[in-house]
Chain A
Amino acid sequence: MQLIPSLDLLNGRVVRLTHGDFATAKVYGDAEQVLDTLAVPRGARLHVVDLEASRSGRPIETSIVRRLAQRDLIVQVGGGIRSLDDARRWLDCGAERIVVGTAATTALLDALVETFGPQRIVPAIDVRDGVVRTEGWLRESAMTMRELFTRVESLAIPEALVTDISKDGALRGPSFSLYRELRSITRVKIIASGGVAASSDLASLARLGNISGCVIGKALLEGRIDLREAAARLAARNAVPERVIPCLDVRDGRVVKGVSFANIRDAGDPVECAMRYEAEGADELVILDIDGARSSIDTVRRVAESIFIPLTVGGGIRSVEDFRETLRAGADRVAINTAALRRPELIAECSAEFGVQAVVLSCDAKGGLCAIRGGKELTDVDAVEWCRRAEELGAGEILLTSVDRDGTNAGFDIELLRAVTSRVRIGVIASGGAGRLDDFRDAIEAGGARAVLAASLFHDRVLTVGDVKRHLEAEGIPVR
């Protein structure tokens, strides 16, 4: 999948509109300066939109496109192309391909393909709520998506640009469901556009299999995506498996489970559960002492002695000494929550003493704020800000639990996950709310999580770890 930086041009400068509204234009500066700032590599594909042209219907920013094409960039340009002459003007400027929106639904598309060849034409299809839109997003098209793609295929056009305009510029994530639907509708490769906010979105798009390129606009301009890092992640995307982690909430030497941290019931013997989960393919195990009393250190020891996968332990860790004792009991990593919120330096101290890989920040989020003492007490600390801070202080990973969703089986809180994963570089474990197989996919695909955690689903044998891993693999997400 190619990463295609997008430059929207207006009055000779790079701008961004929100929801296609000219009144919202935010100016980023001169096109070439912007390219230098973003470190766009030579030979890269570039998506250029002449906004004025899309409004007025004739090419305006031709001199900029000419300069960009001379910089060894493969430029595709769009904006109000309504005739063969318009298209020819852009191609004469050095554009490699032209992007046609409104024209894609008219007879002009046939004429363009006949004149310039299907390789040089990219139909741009704007979709809102599953309906194709044209003409600067203002009008509903007479064609359905399926009809449009049948036409594109019959013209032997290899690629189409598909934008979910309800997502564009909103950084709320690409429309994975739309692109997945297109996979069953058409063989045409899709250039995804709209909503990309984090490098995890790019990895997720690449995994869909039908996405040949991704246009990145606002996220790049706002510095949320680094092109080098994104390219490295894409190159390694099949190497690093995403993890499935069963969680044992323990009390008095037994596994227990509740709903939203209350109504606790017995769910089995920790060692038996742990061994079963490893045999099912669990990539890691989490033990949380739900009383935060550290009475379960013996349970930790017994579990650690019975498994050969990494073990993360949390609950009631108040000091460097507690941390050390938990590692000695056999934990590989230790999760801190309440004590770190009360004294953030604890994260830095543990990180310096035991290494960043040993420190997990456990963040229990309730309505966007951090909860402590096992969800019993709400602080005024913003959960996303706290996760960012914890990363700076030296946490190696974040275990992010939605208290609201915990034990409800209503699905992970994707919005919360996105808010955190798009702002930190360290991995985030999604926790709280797993119910259906697709929930696990969504937490990784749309939520950007690097691991998914569940408790009651596995304890109650509603699903096995193996079921989840097979489902993720079928959805193109690499697992061990």
Chain B
Amino acid sequence: MANIARALRAAGAGLRVTRDASAIANAEKLVLPGVGSFIAAMQWLTETRIDAAIREAVSRGAALLGICVGHQLLFESSEEMGTTNGLGLLRGDVRRFEGPLPVPQIGWNRVCGGQAILPVRTGEIACPPLFDGIANGTAFYFVHSFAARGVASEIATAEYNGPFTAAAQQGRVFGVQFHPEKSSTAGLRVLRNFIACS
């Protein structure tokens, strides 16, 4: 959390770290970080009613960026320990990485699709693409055991035990599976792009 706040500040954001549901519901831009378990994170969001606050903010037109587990929480469900419902802001679900390569994936991996993505328009509001100025194949830092695959909102992919969703966007809801706050200049650029999204 401290790292993400620091990176956002370095990328030019004025921000507040909060767990206050009404502040969240009224925010213009939200960043939802997350590490550890999807279930624990979702339970906490429900208990604190932050889940409803996030949905309200998004329905009012706020921009939202989910990072790592925060990205996974945007989807409908995760199969971590059975099936757990997520925020359902993006269609699709999150599954454990299956395949011969060791899980979790820990480390840098190349992300493709960046510049090929066209700006998505929702009503009158134009969102500049999250990967503006970032070349195809740029590496970002990942640490995760679960991932969404081939979802409709996928704007960037990476390969690990097959292709998976490295970033997703629908309207003003964005998610990145990697850690921009650990991905050096490329990561800071993604955060700047999110901050610049009007």
- Known contacts: A308-B184, A309-B182, A426-B102. The answer to whether A243 contacts B107 by CB under 8 A is yes
B13 to nearest A CB, angstroms?
14
Give bound CA distance, A425 to B101, whole Å: 9
Are A228 and B182 closer than 8 Å at their CB atoms? no
A427 engages B107 (CB within 8 Å) = yes
Q: Which of A105-113, A229-237, A367-375 contacts B (4 or more CB under 8 A)?
A: A229-237
Which one, A232, A241, A357, contacts B101 given CB within 8 A? A232
By the criterion of a CB under 8 Å from any partner CB, how many residues of chain A are at the interface? 32
A233 to B162, CA, bound (A): 11
Which residues, 215 to 264 on A, are CB-close (under 8 Å) to B? Answer: 226, 228-229, 231-233, 235-236, 238-241, 243
Q: Is B188 an interface residue (CB 8 A)?
A: yes
Structural contact, B102 and A278, CB atoms closer than 8 A:
no
Secondary structure of the A contact surface, majority rule: loop
Knowing A232-B101, A355-B36, the reply to whether A397 touches B187 (Cβ < 8 A) is no
- Within 393-444 of A, Cβ neighbours of B (below 8 Å) are at 396-397, 425-427
Given contacts A309-B184, A396-B106, A480-B139, contact A330 B3 (CB under 8 A): yes
Q: Do the beta carbons of A425 and B7 come within 8 Å of each other?
A: no
B35 to chain A minimum Cβ distance, whole angstroms, is: 8
In the complex, are the beta carbons of A310 and B104 less than 8 A apart? no
Among B79-87, B119-127, B153-161, B167-175, the stretch that binds chain A is B153-161
A147 in the interface (beta carbon within 8 A): no
Closest chain A residue to B186, Cβ basis: A480
Residues of A within 8 A of B161 (CB): 232
Q: Is the CB of A239 within 8 A of B10?
A: no
In the complex, whether A164 has a CB less than 8 A from a CB of chain B is no
A305 to B: closest C-beta gap in Å: 7
Whether B108 contacts A232 by the Cβ 8 Å rule is no
Chain B interface, DSSP helix/strand/loop, else mixed: mixed
- Asked if A69 CB lies within 8 Å of chain B CBs, one says no
CB within 8 A of B181: which of A240, A308, A355, A427? A308
* Assembled-state Cα–Cα distance A308/B183 (Å): 6
User: Which residue of chain B lies nearest to A226 when distances are taken between CB atoms in the complex?
Assistant: B100
Separation of A426 and B107 alpha carbons in the complex (Å) = 12
- Confirm or deny: A86 has a beta carbon within 8 angstroms of a beta carbon on chain B: no
Q: Which of B99, B143, B158, B159 contacts A357 (CB 8 A)?
A: B143
Contact of B2 with A by CB under 8 A = yes
Chain A hits for B143, CB < 8 A: 332, 357
Task: Indicate whether B6 reaches chain A with its CB closer than 8 angstroms.
Answer: yes
In the assembled complex, the CB of A357 is this many whole angstroms from the nearest CB of chain B, namely 5
Q: How far is A429 from B141 in the complex, measured between Cα atoms in Å?
A: 17
Determine how close the nearest CB of chain A comes to the CB of B29; give it in whole angstroms. Answer: 20
Contacts of A8 in B (CB 8 A): none
Let me know if A239 and B100 touch, CB within 8 A: no
- A283, A308, A330: which contacts B187 (Cβ < 8 A)? A308
B106, A427: Cβ atoms closer than 8 Å: yes
User: Contacts of B160 on A, CB cut-off 8 Å?
Assistant: 236, 239-240
User: Quick check: is A34 within 8 A (CB to CB) of the other chain?
Assistant: no
| Chain B neighbourhood of A357, CB < 8 A | 104, 106, 143
Given contacts A239-B160, A241-B110, contact A305 B6 (CB under 8 A): yes
Q: Which residues of A contact B108 (CB under 8 A)?
A: 240-241, 243, 283, 480
Given contacts A235-B159, A241-B110, A330-B2, 18 further A-B contacts (CB under 8 A): A226-B100, A228-B100, A233-B100, A233-B101, A236-B101, A238-B110, A239-B159, A241-B139, A278-B184, A305-B6, A308-B7, A308-B10, A308-B182, A332-B182, A355-B36, A357-B104, A427-B107, A480-B139
User: Which B residues are closer than 8 A to A by beta carbons?
Assistant: 2-3, 6-7, 10, 35-36, 99-102, 104, 106-110, 139, 141, 143, 158-161, 181-185, 187-188
Q: Which residues of A contact B (CB under 8 A)?
A: 226, 228-229, 231-233, 235-236, 238-241, 243, 278, 283, 304-305, 308-310, 330, 332, 355-357, 396-397, 425-427, 450, 480
7 contacts between A and B (CB under 8 A): A232-B100, A239-B110, A241-B139, A308-B10, A357-B104, A427-B107, A450-B107
